[in-house]
Amino acid sequence: MDISLSMVAKEAHQGLDGLPMPVPHKIAKKHKKAVLFFEVEILDAKTREKLCFLDKVEPQATIAEIKNLFTKTHPQWYPARQSLRLDPKGKSLKDEDVLQKLPVGTTATLFFRDLGAQISWVTVFLTEYAGPLFIYLLFYFRVPFIYGHKYDFTSSRHTVVHLACICHSFHYIKRLLETLFVHRFSHGTMPLRNIFKNCTYYWGFAAWMAYYINHPLYTPPTYGTQQVKLALTIFVICQIGNFSIHMALRDLRPAGSKTRKIPYPTKNPFTWLFLLVSCPNYTYEVGSWIGFAIMTQCVPVALFSLVGFTQMTIWAKGKHRSYLKEFRDYPPLRMPIIPFLL
Ligand SMILES: NC(=O)c1ccc[n+]([C@@H]2O[C@H](COP(=O)([O-])OP(=O)(O)OC[C@H]3O[C@@H](n4cnc5c(N)ncnc54)[C@H](OP(=O)(O)O)[C@@H]3O)[C@@H](O)[C@H]2O)c1
Ligand SMILES: *[C@@H]1O[C@H](CO)[C@@H](O)[C@H](O)[C@H]1NC(C)=O
Ligand SMILES: *[C@@H]1O[C@H](CO)[C@@H](O)[C@H](O)[C@H]1NC(C)=O
């Protein structure tokens, strides 16, 4: 129905046989004016209830602009909460899609879905990462009510416990600073409900690991200094590697843009892992947790590494698949996360 409408609009000054009709100049102009605006109706994707009717929408209007217009009549649904689709069950339109270029007529029907309360990525990452940093330190300083009264504010006699605290804190401080100053997110927000799940995971594991590592009865690694040194080397290399990858990804995306490109190795040797894997940042991340597990020789840390590895493999596979789909000339040697294997 929508398509026929736009055909009529075109035929008005073309004539039915497709030949231009000799219309007087003034009238032709009037017809042109008539198609200068679109009408947009927004229906609820579930109930098909009509939520909003916008007349006189400019053809060049973007979905972002339509979301802004919609918010004016429904302030509870701010733009980041809205998903607009052409088909009630189809994919969400992108903010930068232009009305005129969509397969709609001069009257467009869009279906609305409420994505739920949203929270910005920066806020998400700050809460996710500040938590473990703070929680770990509570155990490190042995604040009261954790290990029993006589240990309050005492400190461990094992060097590795202090080193572990430095590594753990460094890791999360690095993450916090990267979130603030390095990453360029393409999606502005994420659903609020996700944050509860993520925080339970990060905060819970941090508390569990910290409890054992800082425990007064903690026993240092079997192979002593040798083992700690090896672990520290792995940890440091992976942290630098991870940071290098984040800088390389940042440089792929000019400030304020949303473009996505194939990442390639740069002059920095730590980025050469891009020759073999799609998500070297995850490879390094897993590596540094393995380093931390060797250093502390502690079961909860090993478990955290394993869970993290599983999750990151899932993300890396997804990312790898979308790279393959998006770029036809994607380097064939690359695997998602582990060179030649996985
Ligand atoms: N559900 C999933 O499949 C999935 C996958 C990965 C991450 N996550 C979420 O993300 C969180 C951690 O992921 P993360 O630490 O890896 O961070 P991230 O959310 O992936 O963010 C890293 C930043 O680097 C950018 N970037 C990545 N590849 C790029 C490229 N080829 N060109 C230009 N810029 C690029 C990202 O852009 P983009 O925003 O465009 O990616 C993003 O701004 C998790 O807590 C999880 O909730 C979910
Ligand atoms: C890690 O790498 C993947 C693949 O390049 C990317 O999608 C993701 O955003 C990166 N994470 C960060 C925090 O840069
Ligand atoms: C490494 O990268 C991942 C994803 O890009 C990030 O979430 C994590 O904090 C980083 N890990 C380390 C060890 O810095």
pLDDT digits (tens, 9 = 90+) for 172-183: 999 999 988 888
Ligand 2 binding pocket, CB closer than 6 Å: 183, 246, 249, 263, 278-279, 281-282, 319
Helix axes 159-181, 121-140, angle to 10 degrees: 170
pLDDT score for 8: 37
pLDDT score for 307: 96
Q: pLDDT band at residue 18, thresholds of 50, 70 and 90? A: very low
Q: pLDDT band at residue 34, thresholds of 50, 70 and 90? A: low
| Contact yes or no for 245/259 (Cβ under 8 A) | no
The candidate with the shortest Cα–Cα distance to 201, out of 131, 141, 126, 279, is 131
Task: Specify whether 102 is located in the same domain as 131.
Answer: no
Residue 332 lies in a domain: no
Residue 274 lies in a domain: yes
Task: Specify whether 104 is located in the same domain as 128.
Answer: no
Backbone angles phi, psi at 57, to 5 degrees: -95, 130
Task: Specify whether 255 is located in the same domain as 137.
Answer: yes
Nearest CA, atom 8, ligand 3: 285
**Average confidence score pLDDT of the chain:** 88
User: For the segment 47-97, what is each residue's pLDDT rounded down to a tens digit?
Assistant: 999 999 999 899 999 999 999 999 999 999 999 999 999 999 999 999 999
Distance in angstroms (rounded) separating the CA atoms of residues 14 and 32: 12
Task: Specify whether 210 is located in the same domain as 303.
Answer: yes
User: For the segment 100-119, what is each residue's pLDDT rounded down to a tens digit?
Assistant: 999 988 899 999 999 988 88
pLDDT score for 282: 96
Angle 151-166-291 (CA atoms, 0-180°, nearest 5)? 110
Ligand 2 center to 115 CA (angstroms): 24
Nearest CA, atom 5, ligand 1: 315
Question: To test ligand 2's pocket by mutation, which of 187, 270, 281 has the most ligand atoms within 8 angstroms of CB?
Answer: 281
Nearest CA, atom 4, ligand 2: 279
Question: To test ligand 2's pocket by mutation, which of 178, 238, 246, 249 has the most ligand atoms within 8 angstroms of CB?
Answer: 249
- HSE-up of 102 (CA within 13 Å, CB side)? 27
Ligand 2 center to 342 CA (angstroms): 17
Task: Specify whether 78 is located in the same domain as 105.
Answer: yes
Residue 336 lies in a domain: no
Provide, for the chain, the percentages of residues in helix, strand and coil under a 3-state DSSP scheme, each rounded to the nearest 5: 55, 10, 35
Question: To test ligand 3's pocket by mutation, which of 281, 290, 295 has the most ligand atoms within 8 angstroms of CB?
Answer: 281
Residue 13 lies in a domain: no
The percent of residues in the chain predicted with pLDDT above 90, rounded, is: 73
Total domain count for the chain?
A: 2
Count the neighbouring beta carbons within 10 Å of the beta carbon of residue 341.
Answer: 9
Shortest-distance atom of ligand 1 to CA 187:
39
Mean pLDDT of the 146-161 span: 95
Ligand 2 center to 302 CA (angstroms): 23
Shortest-distance atom of ligand 3 to CA 238:
13
Nearest CA, atom 9, ligand 3: 175
Q: Which CATH number characterizes residue 102's domain?
A: 3.10.20.90
Task: Specify whether 73 is located in the same domain as 125.
Answer: no
Beta bridge partners of 262: none
Mean pLDDT of the 254-272 span: 88
pLDDT score for 36: 81
Range of the domain at 73: 38-116
Task: Specify whether 65 is located in the same domain as 97.
Answer: yes
pLDDT score for 26: 47
Shortest-distance atom of ligand 3 to CA 178:
9
pLDDT score for 259: 79
pLDDT score for 35: 58
Distance in angstroms (rounded) separating the CA atoms of residues 214 and 169: 14
The percent of residues in the chain predicted with pLDDT above 70, rounded, is: 90
